[in-house]
Structure 1
Amino acid sequence: MKHLEKLILYLRICNGSSMSNKANPFLDGTHLHNEILIYMPQLRTFTFYISTENNIYHLPHPISTDNIQQTFANFKYGQTACVIDYFHTFRTICHVYSLPFTFTRLERISSKFPNIVFITVTHLHVNDFISLEHEFFMQISLAFPILKRFCLKNETEQLWTDHITEPDENLSDSIIEYSHFRSFGLMCAHGHYISQFLLETKARLPCLTELKLKYGPLIAATRYFTIDALRRNCSKVNRLIVENCTRVPEDVYQYFPSL
């Protein structure tokens, strides 16, 4: 590949514990240069997204986002960004990518994503263990303006506990418009997030056609399919994937009339 002039790389390393540098088990600028780029002397354009996910039990020194960013100090292929997420005490994910971001998928980011606009991303997976409130999802709608498929993994309940009978008056003027959303994946999310996305006083989803979630949280959020405030955003759903449901009651078809 020594004659290569342009390289586009999208790489996810889901268990990088076997990487040789135990002091820094993430694929950073130094690793890119020493293991890949040094063998491409004619490379002129390099566009990339790389995430390294690790189980780390005995890291000699904590690694920060700034530590990773410094390894790109002499990077000659344009601007870069990075973020490191520590989940509990041992699971970490490091994302590094070139700017502007040009890929359509972004996997397993947390609430710490950079304050930039991802104008090409259509598929997003958010993974976090802290409570994610309405303001965070407003940031999502602004940072990912053409997002079509969204998956959330977060079992932590929101701080505002009763979205139906006690609506937050502070949010009355901040209904989030998800103009392009086609699919939501909430299989691994607390039931509060069903209301966050489907309650018409919080969100508008004119294009939502696919919903993935567990049956228990669904009946809790809809109060056994009796709450009208969620019906509007469910009206166009024609593909409903429900876990832990052996028999679909008739109420489901009435609540989701496009099934």
Structure 2
Amino acid sequence: MSQLHSFTFYICTYIDTVNLIYNLSNEDVQRTFINIGQQHIASIINYIDPKHIVCSIFSIPFTFDRLEDIGNIFPNIIFSYVTYLSVKDVVPFNREFFIRVARAFPLLKTFRILNYDSQPLCNLNSSQSYEIAEYRYLVYLDMLCGNINYLE
């Protein structure tokens, strides 16, 4: 392995939390990679339900075209190559989340949303003007498991 100068990776694992002694955090994952000398990484820890975690770990810059099962919280970087994104969370997605996604994933073509909750209707029907989340290249929006209020 002494010839290996760079290692580009994206690892997504699903963890059962039933036997987990403590809550896993992004800091835990980051610390592991710093301890082995790999510093250009990012991680996303997403508690998708009370019993399961999705842990995504990847090298930066992210050079893959697919990112799956991220939640409300993701690194503040541009995912320049991602054309397929699935988001899944137990916490409702708000307007700012969709703006952040539009900015962070400029080439997004397929967007899958899995979240049965939505922001409260009183927030959706207010007379305030909001920035519009624009997805220039989007050709497929899958909201089969998303609340209809997200279409607003």
User: Equivalent residue for 1:188?
Assistant: 145
Q: What is the Cα deviation at residue 100 of structure 1?
A: 0.8
Match of 2:77 among 112, 116, 122: 116
- Unaligned residue ranges in structure 1 (runs of 5+): 1-39, 197-259
| Residue 64 (str. 1) matches residue 30 (str. 2) | no
1:1-259 alignment, distance < 5 Å? 40-76=1-37, 78-160=39-121, 166=125, 168-172=126-130, 174-193=131-150, 195-196=151-152
| Stretch moving more, 59-68 or 111-120 | 59-68
TM-score (norm. length: structure 1): 0.55
Deviation of the 1:137 alpha carbon: 0.4
| Residues 188-214 of structure 1: per-residue CA shift (max 9 Å, x gap) | 111112x33xxxxxxxxxxxxxxxxxx
Distance 1:60 1:175 in 2: 42
| 4+ long deviations beyond 2 Å | 60-63, 74-78, 160-163, 168-172
The answer to whether the Cα contact below 8 Å between 2:49 and 2:89 also exists between their aligned partners in 1 is: no
Aligned length: 152
- The separation in 1 between residues aligned to 2:48 and 2:97, in whole angstroms, is 18
Task: Supply the AA of the counterpart residue of 2:77.
Answer: I
| Higher Cα Rg, which structure | 1
Answer whether contact 1:44 1:77 (CA < 8 A) is retained: no
Give CA-to-partner distance per residue, 1:104-138, whole Å, 9 cap, x none. 10000001111111111110000012111111101
1:169 Cα deviation after fit: 2.9
CA distance in 2, matches of 1:130, 1:175: 21
* Cα contact 1:161–1:192 (8 A) shared by 2: no
